[in-house]
Structure 1
Amino acid sequence: MTDSHVVEMTEAIPVELSVSVGVSVGNAMKLEPEMRHDPAVIGTNAVDLPSGLVKAAGAGAVLSPGRNCREIVRANNAALLVDAQNYFAEVEKALQQAQRSILIVGWDFDARIRLRPDVEGSESLGTLLRRLVEERPELEVRVLVWSVAVAHAPGATFALLFGADWEDHPRIQVRLDTEHPVYAAHHQKLVCIDDVIAFAGGIDLTVGRWDTSAHTPKDPWRLTPDGAPYGPVHDLQMAVDGEAAVAIARVARERWLRALGEDLPAIEPCPPIWPDDLQADFQDIAIGVSLTVPATNFSPAVAQVAALTINVLAAAQRSIYIEAQYFTCSLIRKVLASHLARSDGPEIIAIVSRAAEGVVEKRVMGENRDRLIRRLKRHDPYDRLKVLYPVATCDGETAEVLIHAKLMIIDDDVIRVGSANLNNRSMGLDTELDLTIEANGDERIRSTISRIRNDLLGEHLGCDGQLVAKVIAESGSMVAALEQLQDGPRSLHPFPALTEARGPVHPTLWTAVLDPMRPIRLFNFFRKIIPRRRQARARRR
């Protein structure tokens, strides 16, 4: 590897993130010797990545505690919940079994929502939580919400600022988390119950999330608490129990401590909770827990999600399947381009939202998505890149489906679900939590990962996942299957940028401010000067 390659890589990864990502940055900006042959790191460097190195990356386990995950823990059961109708129904069943603790951490929260709007007479989330506390004298409910949600998120502002009637109980706390850098968001979406079951992924308990997997353009139940309709939305959440639930609850408690200074006591052992009708996709399974935590003046960055993103993509040999709200992350460009440039590289299918809300999102997330697509397409001589957005048609009505999911499936070997978007800020500015399962050669796990991918593709194409599996088996190609199955009421449309020969390919000028990979240092000068003065005073003493 040349020094120019090292400089190029370290420019892409902020210094604060370099240790966690696996890049050693010093005055000379060179890799440590043992890392020069690490395919997961080299895979971020150059478009001409040797194919042998990429293949080596996929030869063994991807998860590495301390590097791209915090820990690897076991779950007795793990299930992927596809779309909020399924998630909300299962989380309601789990809440009903809570005995001592319900701990919710979110980007947004709105207790007015009904978890089962399709069930006549179902109660609101706030009413449910209040009833449970009153029925169970040992139960405590705690909710921690990103402070800027009061202005930025879709939930009810007044209730977050001033409280609501359902919260008026000594064992219910709803708090705002203000402990974050300027412009950073607390983006984790966690529900932890008695430390025996936990839910993590992309779905907040708030408005505008509930939808069925049919994603019909006009669903009579898809309404805000104020009665306003909203469009189809696709999302994912994972349910886990066992050690994995304890690990997620530990992250939530640490967030509570950091935000409020309260060290929550350990929960006495409670009976297991797993909804009777929830079929586990995986049993007795190892799960990696990966975090993004931004750097502060008092603590270094945790960039396990950034490292995981590079590592799992670099490990791909046959296929990369992505579902993402955003597709703008600068870290993924070179590793994807490296794959596309190889004659034997993997197929890449990314299902991404087309619509963008507000001027800022359109100017940064929308434009940078199109620019990244154009740039990647220039390295795709074998036509293996497909970036698509879903459209649903029913009863003469057509609507685009908002993709709010955050998912990667690599070959049939790795599945990753969480809160982290494929944008820059999820790599080092916002707090995130992702869960990863890898097969490590276990054919049973590989079969389940393959089934999940095929079912998701089938949902977007309006067909059964078994049909997707059959066509992939016959054609040997996800892309070929995609093209053959595009004739139903559900379809995936290519982004125009895929076929645009001309157009900008570099991130917009506002990217560093509006989609940064690290906290914005408004007072960087003073941060450097003040410690020097303190050191000088100490020497004089």
Structure 2
Amino acid sequence: MKSFSFLPHRNCWRVASADRFGVIIDAAQYFRALRESLERAEDLIILVGWDFDFEIEMLPGESDEDGNAPDGLPNQIGPFLEALVDRRPKLEIYLLKWSGGVLIAPGRALPTAQIKLLSPEQVHLGFDGRHPIGACHHQKIVSIDDSLAFCGGIDVTDGRWDTRDHTPGDERRKLKSGEIAQPWHDVTTVISGEAAAEFSNLCRKRWQRAQDEELEEPFRPGRDRWPESVQVDFTDIDIAIARTEPPEHDRPSVAEIESLYLDSIAAAEDCIYLESQYFAADGITNAIRDRLQEEDGPEVVVINPKAAQEMVEDAAMHVTRSRMIRDLEEADIYDRFRILYPRNADEEPIYVHAKVSIIDDRFLRVGSSNIDRRSMGFDTECDVALLADDERDRDKVRATRDNLIAEHLGCQPEEVAEAIERQGGVIAALDALEQPSGRGLRPIRPRKESLMGRVLADTRFFDPRYRRSAQARLGVTSRHVMIGAAVVAAGLFLWSRQRRR
């Protein structure tokens, strides 16, 4: 990897040391690890997320007849949190959820209201709507006792749980509708040490920004909350925390994540490996195109879902992706670009929700940001990254990449490492390991454009980037829209009752 460094106020917010750092692949492992660490909390838990579903089981298929998990506590996340504060009266739990989630998933409004109104007083539910209209709070962070943090792409909500095997028809993926959810691939991280304390500071600031009040709990980092089920991948390593935040009336925008992408892509020598829900950010794809046109540039492997889960979203995002694929394939005169989607044993497409960058064997980034314009300059995002300087840590970065590829191919990480060594590159190894049917990675082909897809792609209606003209909104945010909607709804309710009299 060429010269690269973390630069606060450019490509990151802060750099801090992590005494332990682990990569967690897929939500089955994450929910188990999260539960273990939450059980160890004594004073303060902060969960910051795009969405929460308080009715999901953290360990599907492991409940007894009373609905308890093997640890004796309720398996559902809402009752589980209530049980924690019943057991520890000094424990305070803060849940910060994007306000727009009520509109996207109205079926979760009642359980959310129950948490808000009926939970013990130590459980505090807040809604984050302090964004320009149309933007969302998209960070996925958990802070426990100022001493442990999870940061990545996994929401604590319905449809996320899955195992590494992405087993066809797995009953544990059953939704409340009775349907079996699509196989789902995701990634997050767990961090302890000084870096975890910085995540706590970030969560506290986020709560204060959204709720206009500070958390009163004292700041007490340095305690051991590491989950036993997660192996430690890195020790005593510097961690960079990078953000995207849209501007508000009293502060400018933050685009550290975009700079982190661009700086790391520019520094790549051998391989750029990306996993993302989308592939639609002009700045990122332009940077990749420039590297593909270099005679000695790096390979580029992008793992994406085959399609979005909703028709309109698919038309909006993946027509743009098709245009960018065509542009990159035209620029790829040295045949170093692949964009692929994973399939399970029944050849069912696995939905890729992970947000990962691995550059050569030195740079690793995991977070909430997608490769789209929203994540570069409209929504609120948070990523974590590290640079491997010694041979041990470089081996770990390589092992993380090989582990991800092995999951997608349904083989062992050792097989991937051997194939890369034998074939002399990642793309050649992928070609050598690919099977004609069953589990594996398949190419994503550019699509023909429908009229709706063309209009949505041209306007970038669902994938905007903040524009300075939005300053003219005089500070009107999603928060004001939600308050206004609540007032209107209450007024209509009272009016309808009055008419019945």
TM exceeding 0.5? yes
Task: Quote the Cα distance in structure 2 between the aligned partners of 1:506 and 1:335.
Answer: 25
Counterpart residue number, 1:363: 315
Counterpart residue number, 1:535: none
> Residue 421 of structure 1: CA displacement?
0.3
Asked if residue 247 in structure 1 is aligned to residue 198 in structure 2, the reply is: yes
1:188-227 deviation digits (Å, cap 9, x = unpaired): 0011110111101000100010000001221111122454
User: Measured at CA, do residues 127 and 84 of structure 1 come closer, stay the same or move farther in structure 2, by a change above 3 Å?
Assistant: same
Check the 8 A contact 2:188/2:366 in 1, yes or no: yes
* Greater Cα offset, 480-489 or 398-407: 480-489
Check the 8 A contact 1:371/1:507 in 2, yes or no: no
Check the 8 A contact 2:240/2:384 in 1, yes or no: yes
Task: Quote the Cα distance in structure 2 between the aligned partners of 1:367 and 1:499.
Answer: 8
Asked if residue 457 in structure 1 is aligned to residue 408 in structure 2, the reply is: no
> Residue 357 of structure 1: CA displacement?
3.0
> Residue 430 of structure 1: CA displacement?
0.4
Counterpart residue number, 2:39: 96
Asked if residue 176 in structure 1 is aligned to residue 127 in structure 2, the reply is: yes
Pick from 473, 479, 491 the counterpart of residue 427 of structure 2. 479
- Kindly provide the amino acid, as one letter, of the partner of residue 442 in structure 2: H
Asked if residue 72 in structure 1 is aligned to residue 15 in structure 2, the reply is: yes
> Residue 523 of structure 1: CA displacement?
6.7
Check the 8 A contact 1:75/1:240 in 2, yes or no: yes
Pick from 49, 52, 56 the counterpart of residue 113 of structure 1. 56
Gaps of 5+ in 2: 70-74, 476-501
* Greater Cα offset, 79-88 or 488-497: 488-497
- Kindly provide the amino acid, as one letter, of the partner of residue 428 in structure 1: G
Counterpart residue number, 1:491: 440
Q: Secondary structure at the match of 1:156?
A: helix
Instruction: For 1:339-378, list aligned pairs within 5 A.
Output: 339-378=291-330
Same amino acid, percent of matched pairs:
38
User: Measured at CA, do residues 466 and 152 of structure 1 come closer, stay the same or move farther in structure 2, by a change above 3 Å?
Assistant: same
> Residue 398 of structure 1: CA displacement?
3.1
> Residue 155 of structure 1: CA displacement?
6.7
Gaps of 5+ in 1: 1-57, 528-541
Pick from 416, 423, 429 the counterpart of residue 365 of structure 2. 416
Counterpart residue number, 1:515: 463
- Kindly provide the amino acid, as one letter, of the partner of residue 241 in structure 2: V
Structure 1 length as normaliser, TM-score?
0.82
1:450-495 deviation digits (Å, cap 9, x = unpaired): 0010111011011101000001001111111000111163111101
Structural RMSD (CA):
2.2
1:348-376 deviation digits (Å, cap 9, x = unpaired): 10000111133431222110111111111
Task: Quote the Cα distance in structure 2 between the aligned partners of 1:334 and 1:86.
Answer: 35
Task: Quote the Cα distance in structure 2 between the aligned partners of 1:349 and 1:412.
Answer: 14
Task: Quote the Cα distance in structure 1 between the aligned partners of 2:23 and 2:444.
Answer: 28
Instruction: For 1:150-229, list aligned pairs within 5 A.
Output: 150-153=102-105, 156-160=108-112, 162-164=113-115, 167-229=118-180
Task: Quote the Cα distance in structure 2 between the aligned partners of 1:461 and 1:418.
Answer: 23
- Kindly provide the amino acid, as one letter, of the partner of residue 355 in structure 2: K
Counterpart residue number, 1:279: 231
- Kindly provide the amino acid, as one letter, of the partner of residue 350 in structure 2: V
Check the 8 A contact 1:236/1:417 in 2, yes or no: yes
Check the 8 A contact 1:154/1:206 in 2, yes or no: no
Check the 8 A contact 1:79/1:280 in 2, yes or no: yes
Task: Quote the Cα distance in structure 1 between the aligned partners of 2:143 and 2:150.
Answer: 7
Check the 8 A contact 1:211/1:222 in 2, yes or no: yes
User: Measured at CA, do residues 158 and 277 of structure 1 come closer, stay the same or move farther in structure 2, by a change above 3 Å?
Assistant: closer
Task: Quote the Cα distance in structure 2 between the aligned partners of 1:456 and 1:155.
Answer: 34
Q: How many residues align?
A: 461
> Residue 520 of structure 1: CA displacement?
7.6
1:233-258 deviation digits (Å, cap 9, x = unpaired): 00001000111111111111111001
Task: Quote the Cα distance in structure 1 between the aligned partners of 2:129 and 2:23.
Answer: 31
User: Measured at CA, do residues 169 and 311 of structure 1 come closer, stay the same or move farther in structure 2, by a change above 3 Å?
Assistant: same
User: Measured at CA, do residues 270 and 60 of structure 1 come closer, stay the same or move farther in structure 2, by a change above 3 Å?
Assistant: closer
Counterpart residue number, 1:238: 189
User: Measured at CA, do residues 523 and 242 of structure 1 come closer, stay the same or move farther in structure 2, by a change above 3 Å?
Assistant: closer
User: Measured at CA, do residues 171 and 463 of structure 1 come closer, stay the same or move farther in structure 2, by a change above 3 Å?
Assistant: same
Check the 8 A contact 2:273/2:300 in 1, yes or no: yes
